[in-house]
Amino acid sequence: MGDEERVEEAPKKKGKGKLFILLGLVLILLMGGGGAAYFFFFKKKPKQQPQGQAPTPQAPAPAPAPAPMAGAPTAVPQFFYDLDTFIVNLADEDGSRYLKVKMTLALSNKEVQKEIEKKLPVIRDAIITVISNKYYKDVATPAGKLALKREIMARINIILTTGKVVDIYFTEFVAQ
């Protein structure tokens, strides 16, 4: 009878051992993921010295330039293309919501303007397709507007070959 008791206890210990190993692995994965997130998002990249050069002592920093106004872009693009107004039904179930938007595209170079004029029907179709797949809740917040800009910009840049759209400025934006 003593042997039977030992046989019953052995599987329980084995199950607990596997549980501790599994918990340990999960803990290691969480710590590794947290460390990777820290280095990816918070760690500043050091300036790299060209190979073969010895590190040079840092010279005193010049006087700081006046700070730009809050919200002002640091580098303003030089080439723009104004698109006509878009009025597009949103994907909400009742179908009564729409988005009226007018935008200006900031371009990487002058040649892109000519390409946009040639491909304007394709670009307008791409923009309408992106907007018509959005819900009101997707475009009602500042984060939603930014995501919409990025998605439209990515879709247009797939079409362009001579340059790219570097930013989109909404000059009119009404969602109802």
The pLDDT of residue 96 is 85
The partner residues of 33 in beta bridges, in order of sequence, read: none
* pTM recorded for the entire structure: 0.57
Tally the domains of the chain: 2
For the segment 138-174, what is each residue's pLDDT rounded down to a tens digit? 999 999 999 999 999 999 999 999 999 999 999 999 9
Tokens for 176, please give them.
């109802």
For residue 114, give the nearest of 160, 52, 68 by alpha carbon. Answer: 160
The pLDDT of residue 42 is 60
Pair 18, 99 in one domain: no
Whether the per-residue pLDDT at 12 is higher than 60: the answer is: no
The pLDDT of residue 93 is 84
Pair 116, 158 in one domain: yes
Whether 103 contacts 153, CB under 8 Å: no
Domain range spanning residue 8? 1-45
For the segment 49-107, what is each residue's pLDDT rounded down to a tens digit? 555 555 554 544 444 444 444 444 556 778 999 999 999 999 988 878 999 999 999 99
The pLDDT confidence band at residue 21, using thresholds 50, 70 and 90, is: confident
Pair 89, 164 in one domain: yes
Whether the per-residue pLDDT at 9 is higher than 80: the answer is: no
Residue 85 belongs to domain with CATH number? 3.30.479.30
Pair 115, 163 in one domain: yes
The partner residues of 172 in beta bridges, in order of sequence, read: 102
Pair 104, 170 in one domain: yes
Residue at token pair 């989109």: 168
Pair 38, 94 in one domain: no
Q: In whole angstroms, what is the distance from residue 165 CA to residue 8 CA?
A: 70
Pair 41, 83 in one domain: no
Pair 93, 30 in one domain: no
Whether 136 contacts 128, CB under 8 Å: no
The partner residues of 98 in beta bridges, in order of sequence, read: 89
Tokens for 139, please give them.
């475009």
Domain membership flag for residue 134: yes
Average of per-residue pLDDT across 129-142: 93
Pair 166, 83 in one domain: yes
Pair 106, 159 in one domain: yes
The pLDDT of residue 17 is 73
